[in-house]
Amino acid sequence: MSTHGEEELNTNYLKVGSGVKSWLLTLDHKRIGVMYLVSVILAFFLGGVFALLVRLELLAPGRTIMTAAQYNRAFTLHGAIMVFLFIIPSIPAALGNFILPVMLGAKDVAFPRLNLLSFYVYVVGTIFALFSIISGSVDTGWTFYTPYSTSTNTSVVSMTLAAFILGFSSILTGLNFMVTVHKLRAPGMHWRRLPLFIWGMYATSIIQVLATPVLAITLLLLAMERVFGLGIFDASLGGDPVLFQHFFWFYSHPAVYIMIVPGMAVVSELFATFTRRAIFGYFAIAMSSLGLALVGFLVWAHHMFTAGISEFAAMLFSALTFLVAIPSGVKVFNWTATLYKGSIWLTTPMLYALAFLVQFTIGGLTGLFLGTLATDIHLHDTYFVVAHFHYVMMGGTVMAFLGGLLYWWPKITGKMYDEGLAKISWGFVFVGFNATFLVQFIMGSRGMPRRYYDYLPEYRPYHAFSTVGSWILGVGFLIYAAVLIKSLRSGPKAPPNPWGSAGFEWATESPPVLANFKDVPTITRGPYDYHLVTEEELFDGFPEDAPKKA
């Protein structure tokens, strides 16, 4: 770390050292972020392939392309890969790693070695997951429910260990970010001047640190249960299979906030930049992120209403579940209010942010149907749940990830992308996504159970529609990939602040130097102070940011 000379610290981070070793052994948070980015995109591709296979199988009733056993494996792998290898690390570990220290005006994260370690822990976890896929795969669903997971003869243990190891990667990233936000803010960066992206990352980190260890112990117990018949989740030995679900969801419900809060964090930045105004309700949005982190710990058993938990507990958890709507609603209303009378610039990242707003609202509101005890009895384990989940995760987080990636792409690579082509890909993704999943709400409310290999003929039109939607979605992602590749090959050089954003990360060069800023920045304004400057000044840099001699 301290081996870098003054000159190196002021060099473009992509040009400090070259060759594979300079990447694999780097302690620079930006390079680690890029390595994460490549990994999660590969994982997204793999998980996406499984998703397309699952949809293809469901095109028609009966066998279409695979057997029932293969189908069980395909949807399990889709879920496990998307959750553990893609969504959880996507925004925090990839984009967050790159942007968070830059936004804070820090030179790096607090523990650069730990950061690199967390990446390699992720890699090891991925290897275990791939090993599990090769050696017989898993057919339990990504939730690993007992008693099926303790009795099926697929390779549950290696997938469990993979999730266990990936959990540690997530914990270390969260820990690192928390300390960085607390201790490495540039002079003048008060808590009330923190960009909302940072607030979201901070809330996410709290959840990662508090919830993920419970997943670790749960999966360890599950592995022991399988190997030694320990009995903790086995009713014949006095254990309780439903206890597994308590343990699992104590992590995995907060984990869905690990997935969505970063998405909210990204779109908060996008809305401010592309409406050219201070975000409405800054403090409310910041606090609602923390609120989600806290409330997320109080509602986990709403996944278990029909699993045999007590009626009293079900009522309690149902009532508490409605609390989640408050911070989520606060955010949605504040974003909408930010759009109002803003001077909206419809770039592709902004289009993704708008898609997020619409789709997250649909996903969030349908969550209330599921949180209501009575309606959940009808809707549980139907496609309604699948649609709800995907509207939040894919319609929300993935849209934010895609938008955020394009938004920060010039900062990360120093190159611009083709706006026209990107807009086309957005069109395909938006239409494809809604075609795939909107119909699943209808299908689910009419009783189509999730995870079924076969179905009654009356569901066929819905399934066929959904499958065709998944193809449109797939095309959209291919075009998106083409946008990125084209930009890397022949994209024009990006100016420091292509969007004219007031965000601090745009005050440094694109791509940033190794130490992020050539001089130690001192923050003298808020991250959304658009009222201080004219439109031209935005692109040239804030007058107050200009170097001053003491």
Partner 1 sequence: MSTHNETHDHAHGDEHESWHVHAHVSSVKFMVGIFATLIFLTFITVAVSRVDLGAANGFVAVLVATIKASLVAAFFMHLRWDKPFNALIFVSSFLFLGIFMLFSLDDLNTRGRIDVSNGVKVYARNGERAPGGFTPISAPEHAAGGEHGAAAAGEHAAPAGDHAAPAAHH
Partner 2 sequence: MSTASTTEHDAAHGHEHPKWLAHHFDSPTQQFDSAKLGMWIFICTEILMLGGLFVAYGIFRGMEPDVFHHAHEHLNWRLGAVNTVVLLFSSLTAALAVRQSQVGDRKGTTNYLVVTLLCAAVFLCVKYVEYSAKIEHGLLPGRCFGHPGFADHCINAGASVMPAAVHGLTTRASMFFALYFMMTGIHGLHVVIGMGVLGWVLWRNLRGDFSKEYFTAVEIGALYWHLVDLVWIYLFPLLYLVG
Residue ranges that bind partner 1, judged by CB under 8 A: 147, 182-191, 210, 214, 235-236, 240-243, 246, 250, 297-298, 300-301, 308-313, 316-317, 522-524, 548
> Which residue shows structure tokens 């590969």?
42
Distance in angstroms (rounded) separating the CA atoms of residues 405 and 480? 11
Residue 439: CB minimum distance to partner 2, A: 40
Residues 6+ apart with CB under 8 A from 107: 9, 101, 184, 515, 516, 517
Residue 529 in the binding site for partner 2 (CB under 8 A): no
Interhelix angle 282-295/241-275, nearest 10 degrees: 170
**Cβ-contact 146, 222 below 8 angstroms:** yes
Instruction: State which of residues 144, 305, 401, 504 lies at the interface with partner 2 (CB under 8 A).
Output: 504
Residue 231: CB minimum distance to partner 1, A: 12
**Cβ-contact 209, 238 below 8 angstroms:** no
Q: Name the residue nearer to partner 1 (CB basis): 126 or 205.
A: 205
- Which of partner 2, partner 1, none does 316 bind, CB closer than 5 to 8 A by kind? partner 1
Selection from 156, 165, 145 nearest residue 73 by Cα: 156
Distance in angstroms (rounded) separating the CA atoms of residues 232 and 124? 28
- Which of partner 1, partner 2, none does 300 bind, CB closer than 5 to 8 A by kind? partner 1
Q: Name the residue nearer to partner 1 (CB basis): 114 or 298.
A: 298
Q: Name the residue nearer to partner 2 (CB basis): 95 or 215.
A: 215
Residue 76: CB minimum distance to partner 1, A: 23
- Which of partner 1, partner 2, none does 311 bind, CB closer than 5 to 8 A by kind? partner 1
**φ and ψ at residue 508, rounded to 5 degrees:** -100, 175
**Cβ-contact 182, 124 below 8 angstroms:** no
- Which of partner 2, partner 1, none does 298 bind, CB closer than 5 to 8 A by kind? partner 1
Three-state SS at 169: helix
Residue 30: CB minimum distance to partner 2, A: 12
The two tokens of residue 297 are 């710990």
- Which of partner 1, partner 2, none does 99 bind, CB closer than 5 to 8 A by kind? none
Stretch that binds partner 2, among 31-39, 110-118, 194-202, 530-538 (CB under 8 A): 110-118
Residue 175 in the binding site for partner 2 (CB under 8 A): yes
Q: Name the residue nearer to partner 1 (CB basis): 2 or 18.
A: 2
Task: Give exposure, 87-111, as e/b (b: 16+ Cβ within 10 Å).
Answer: bbbbbbbbbbbbbbbbbbbbbbbbb
Stretch that binds partner 2, among 264-272, 334-342, 401-409, 516-524 (CB under 8 A): 516-524
**Cβ-contact 373, 66 below 8 angstroms:** no
The two tokens of residue 416 are 């611009």
- Which of partner 2, partner 1, none does 33 bind, CB closer than 5 to 8 A by kind? none
Residues 6+ apart with CB under 8 A from 229: 237
Interhelix angle 383-392/419-445, nearest 10 degrees: 150
Q: Name the residue nearer to partner 1 (CB basis): 217 or 456.
A: 217
Using CB under 8 A, which residues numbered 227 to 266 contact partner 2?
A: 227-232, 237-240, 243, 247
Q: Name the residue nearer to partner 2 (CB basis): 96 or 367.
A: 96
Site residue total, partner 2 (CB under 8 A): 67
Selection from 413, 403, 388 nearest residue 265 by Cα: 403
Instruction: State which of residues 108, 139, 418, 509 lies at the interface with partner 2 (CB under 8 A).
Output: 108
Stretch that binds partner 2, among 42-50, 132-140, 170-178, 383-391 (CB under 8 A): 170-178
Stretch that binds partner 2, among 104-112, 311-319, 395-403, 490-498 (CB under 8 A): 104-112
Residue 411 in the binding site for partner 2 (CB under 8 A): no
Residue 500 in the binding site for partner 2 (CB under 8 A): no
Q: What is the DSSP string of 13-71?
A: GGGSS-SHHHHHT---HHHHHHHHHHHHHHHHHHHHHHHHHHHHHTTSSS-SSS-HHHH
The two tokens of residue 351 are 């289009």
Q: Is 290 exposed, middle or buried (0-12, 13-18, 19+ CB in 10 A)?
A: middle
- Which of partner 1, partner 2, none does 259 bind, CB closer than 5 to 8 A by kind? none
Question: By the criterion CB under 8 A, which residues form the site for partner 2?
Answer: 1-2, 4, 6, 9, 105-108, 110-112, 114, 171, 175-176, 178-179, 182-184, 186, 188, 209-214, 216-218, 220-221, 224-225, 227-232, 237-240, 243, 247, 504, 507, 515, 517-525, 542, 544-548, 550
